[in-house]
């Protein structure tokens, strides 16, 4: 038998997981194609550079990527006026070579700001007028650098508190609530073709946060501000109930003409890992994708890292982890296979 035929025979003979169907997608790229959405992962840029296995799986599995930290303000401008684009450029260039689109994350946030900015505001050496100019320049410079290379930007991130009030950050304190509209306008001018999003956590279920975010969107739309989408971060934990009304919440935003994205999905658990916990985790991942594909406006589902080797969860939630669809050795977990079994839906 010829070598090519032998290889084909081995592929066809390879056993499927016990719970798989022969017509299920073979990987997450095929899953994305089945549903007509973007399936993405956050990218650890150090691993992208240094770990060939990480890079290979990332580029095989995903048609969409987000820089986990490389595009945040402290990363791109650690000193005032001194830009360090190498890490962000690496993510964008790797995506170009591997037919992946990119979500830019994030332009305006209260965390991971450079020390020169926060200290300058704190000691009064940067006043409100200068702060507004700095914010405008940051957005214009970063969005402009990647004009035509970024599909969507998280323009403002986590601007609503759990009780539904606007977050008391340096932007609200010194610039007033108008900073949100300004950020969208500046981003749109810098790249008129990029989709512009508001992004937040617990938006899947927290009613005060949902209502305030809806009000923000309606207010921006009434002013003619270019806002195109809403991002549900989707940081879930199996010790909490799955947000069962998530699809309906998505539809409320979709009814405003917005694109919907799940931008940072992971499902953590209290350690140690057990088969029952992995099964529950798999169910949560399956339900999240099912909710997304049930809503016509939901165009993206991005995992906040695909492997436990580089998950942010253990460093943030003491005693918790195993939040990703692959383990530390990049072996698929039940959650990975559960995603592949989600059936196509009429949308």
Phi and psi for 235 in degrees, rounded to 5? Answer: -85, 100
For residues 303 and 233, give the distance between their C-alpha atoms in angstroms, rounded to a whole number: 9
Phi and psi for 268 in degrees, rounded to 5? Answer: -85, 165
For residues 136 and 133, give the distance between their C-alpha atoms in angstroms, rounded to a whole number: 5
Per annotation, catalytic residue among 264, 300, 318, 328: 264
For residues 144 and 56, give the distance between their C-alpha atoms in angstroms, rounded to a whole number: 30
Ordered DSSP codes for 224-283: T----EEEE--EEETTS---TTHHHHHHHHHTTT-EEEEEEEEEEEESSP-HHHHHHHHH
The answer to whether 198 touches 160, Cβ cutoff 8 Å, is: no
- CA–CA distance from 214 to each of 152, 163, 170, 172, 309 (Å)? 20, 14, 22, 18, 36
Q: With CA atoms as reference, report the closest residue to 299 among 234, 347, 341.
A: 347
For residues 285 and 278, give the distance between their C-alpha atoms in angstroms, rounded to a whole number: 11
Verify whether residue 264 is a known catalytic residue: yes
DSSP letter at 77 equals -
Query: What's the chain's length in residues?
Result: 347
DSSP letter at 57 equals H
Q: With CA atoms as reference, report the closest residue to 68 among 319, 331, 313.
A: 313
Catalytic residues: 264
């Amino acid at each position: 038998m010829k070598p090519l035929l032998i290889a084909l025979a081995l592929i066809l003979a390879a056993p499927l997981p016990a719970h798989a169907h022969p017509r299920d997608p073979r990987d997450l790229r095929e899953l994305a194609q089945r549903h007509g959405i973007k399936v993405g992962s956050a990218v650890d840029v150090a691993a992208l550079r240094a770990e060939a296995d990480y890079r290979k799986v990332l580029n095989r599995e995903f048609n969409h990527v987000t820089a986990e930290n490389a595009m945040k303000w402290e990363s791109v401008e650690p000193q005032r006026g001194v830009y360090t684009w190498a890490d962000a450029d690496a993510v964008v260039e790797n995506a170009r070579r591997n037919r992946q689109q990119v979500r830019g994350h994030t332009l305006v946030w209260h965390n991971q700001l450079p020390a020169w900015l926060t200290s300058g505001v704190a000691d009064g050496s940067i006043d409100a007028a200068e702060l507004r100019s700095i914010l405008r320049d940051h957005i214009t410079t970063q969005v402009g650098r990647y004009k035509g290379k970024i599909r969507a930007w998280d323009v403002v991130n986590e601007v609503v508190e759990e009780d539904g009030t606007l977050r008391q950050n340096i932007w609200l304190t010194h610039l007033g609530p108008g900073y949100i509209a300004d950020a969208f306008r500046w981003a749109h001018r810098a790249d008129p073709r990029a989709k512009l999003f508001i992004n937040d956590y617990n938006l899947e279920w927290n009613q005060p946060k949902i209502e305030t975010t809806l009000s923000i969107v309606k207010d921006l739309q009434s002013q003619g501000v270019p806002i195109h989408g809403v991002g549900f971060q989707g940081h879930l934990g199996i010790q909490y109930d799955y947000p069962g009304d998530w699809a309906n919440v998505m539809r409320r935003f979709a009814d405003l003409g917005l694109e919907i994205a799940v931008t940072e999905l992971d499902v953590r658990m209290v350690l140690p890992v057990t088969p029952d916990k992995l099964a529950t985790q798999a169910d949560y991942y399956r339900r999240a994708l099912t909710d997304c594909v049930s809503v016509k406006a939901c165009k993206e589902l991005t995992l906040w890292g695909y492997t436990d080797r580089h998950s942010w969860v253990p460093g943030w939630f003491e005693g918790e982890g195993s939040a990703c669809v692959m383990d530390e050795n990049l072996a698929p977990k039940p959650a990975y296979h559960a995603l592949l079994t989600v059936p196509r839906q009429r949308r």
